[in-house]
Amino acid sequence: MRLIFSIIALTILFDGTLSSSVAAPPIATSVPAVIGEKSKDGNNVVLQLFGYVKDSVVRTVDGSKEMWGNHGRCNQIRAKQKDYREKLQKQWEFEEQGLTPKEMKGRLSKINGGVTYDEFIFLMKGKEDRSKLMNVAFMMWGAPRVFPYALMFYPNILPGPFAPQQDMSAKESKLEKLSRERTHAVIKTLVSLENEAKAVPALAKLNIFGKKKQARRMDEMDSMGKTIGQIMIASGPDSDDDGAVIAMNTMEDALYRPDTVTRAEQRLVNVPKCITNGILSAIDGSNILQVVMPHFMKRGQVLSHIQKLNDIDNFLVHEKVNLDDLSTFRLLEACSDRMIGGPGRTDEEMRKCLTNWLDLSVNIPTERIEKTGEYFNTNLAKTALMGYYSVSGARDDRSASYLSRLMFNPQPEIKSRNR
């Protein structure tokens, strides 16, 4: 009996506390003394409770079936990729390219062809859902008391089939919500950057031996802030492509190196914390867990998102996917992951920005590396591009955050009148 109640409670946690598609039973101010007694609105409270539990169980079972079906489809897609790699391997062996088995295996592991773009995106989402499922299982085993609070404050922890459905009665669409949250993240990041450049932290004042180091750090933050300001002034609010090129040219010395990029540089260790926090807020939205989360975990989430973008970008470039064939939904999805655009963007605008993204982050660096033999920090480049496009989206006239948008518009002149 105890096991049954535990399963029912777990089911409610998975679905009822988060899902907006199933309405929770109203909380009565007085508990009915009789089982058949009706509440003030005329409905039986006990029947409402059982109906709520039933709906939660049904949705949990349906989500489990959907996830199992998605796993089967992912296996089919991987089988198609395996067949494509085997054919490619036979072709390379026939051409006698002189590759060792280890080199052959390394090149084949980077090949994701043989499938369509939609199938590859489905495979990436399936991989992400399985990772979330493992995290949920580990949390239920290692921290069962924290698990309900994680569901409450961070619903994105759940896999796609169990994720809360969008509330269709909300005052804003999903795209408008993303635009508003990212605009707020941009403003908070710029304010934090300026504070770190001008104000000495309270704890740093207690360290009498670290004044020079703190002064150097403040100078670096001030220089970075002025560089961001120069990029914003040079690009203007309506020139995404030109501004992205200016941003990449400004960071050229940091992106291209004559020697190997270190692990710390690849993992964005030298990126200021306020920038990392801002990028994470733009990716996942602001939530209470980001306040207590250690910085290395925040950086890890940003790197996981960048790795997903790297895989998708390489697929788009190497498989020569025609962006004109992508549907509006796929364009919105791809641009949203890269912080490009916002409400009111046309398909042509999104395709142009996505093409520019691929040129700056994949095509141009690849050509330069082949000619000069330099090393390119892909993670830092895409972090910079996401930051730039976030700022550009906040400055756009179509941004959903109307009060913040008015701050970027020039103030009208007030003409005095003689009375």
Is it the case that residue 305 has pLDDT exceeding 90?
Answer: yes
Mean pLDDT across 297-323: 93
Q: Check residue 419 and give its pLDDT.
A: 44
Q: With residue 172 as reference, give the H or E element that holds it.
A: none
What is the Cα–Cα distance from 210 to 8, expressed in whole angstroms? 56
Average per-residue pLDDT for the chain: 81
- Residue 160: CB partners within 8 Å, gap ≥ 6? 67, 70, 125, 128, 129
What is the Cα–Cα distance from 112 to 164, expressed in whole angstroms? 31
Most confident among 6-10, 292-296, 298-302 (mean pLDDT): 298-302
In percent, how much of the chain has pLDDT > 70? Answer: 83
Per-residue model confidence as pLDDT tens digits over 373-415: 999 999 999 999 999 999 988 888 888 888 877 776 665 555 5
Is it the case that residue 109 has pLDDT exceeding 50?
Answer: yes
Per-residue model confidence as pLDDT tens digits over 142-196: 888 888 888 887 778 888 888 777 665 567 788 888 899 999 999 999 999 999 8
Confidence class of residue 337 from pLDDT cuts 50, 70 and 90? Answer: very high
What is the Cα–Cα distance from 310 to 379, expressed in whole angstroms? 8
Strands (E), 182-257: 256-257
Query: Which of 286 and 367 is assigned the larger pLDDT?
Result: 367
Q: Phi, psi (5° rounding) for residue 44?
A: -75, 125
Q: Which two tokens stand for residue 11?
A: 């089911």
Is it the case that residue 1 has pLDDT exceeding 60?
Answer: no
Q: Is 159 exposed, middle or buried (0-12, 13-18, 19+ CB in 10 A)?
A: buried
What pTM was computed for the model?
0.80
Per-residue model confidence as pLDDT tens digits over 233-269: 876 555 555 788 888 988 898 899 999 999 999 999 9
Which of 62-71, 106-115, 259-268, 359-368 is predicted least confidently? 106-115
Q: With residue 388 as reference, give the H or E element that holds it.
A: helix 378-395
Residue 17, CA distances (Å) to 52, 152, 155, 184, 197 in order: 11, 7, 10, 27, 42
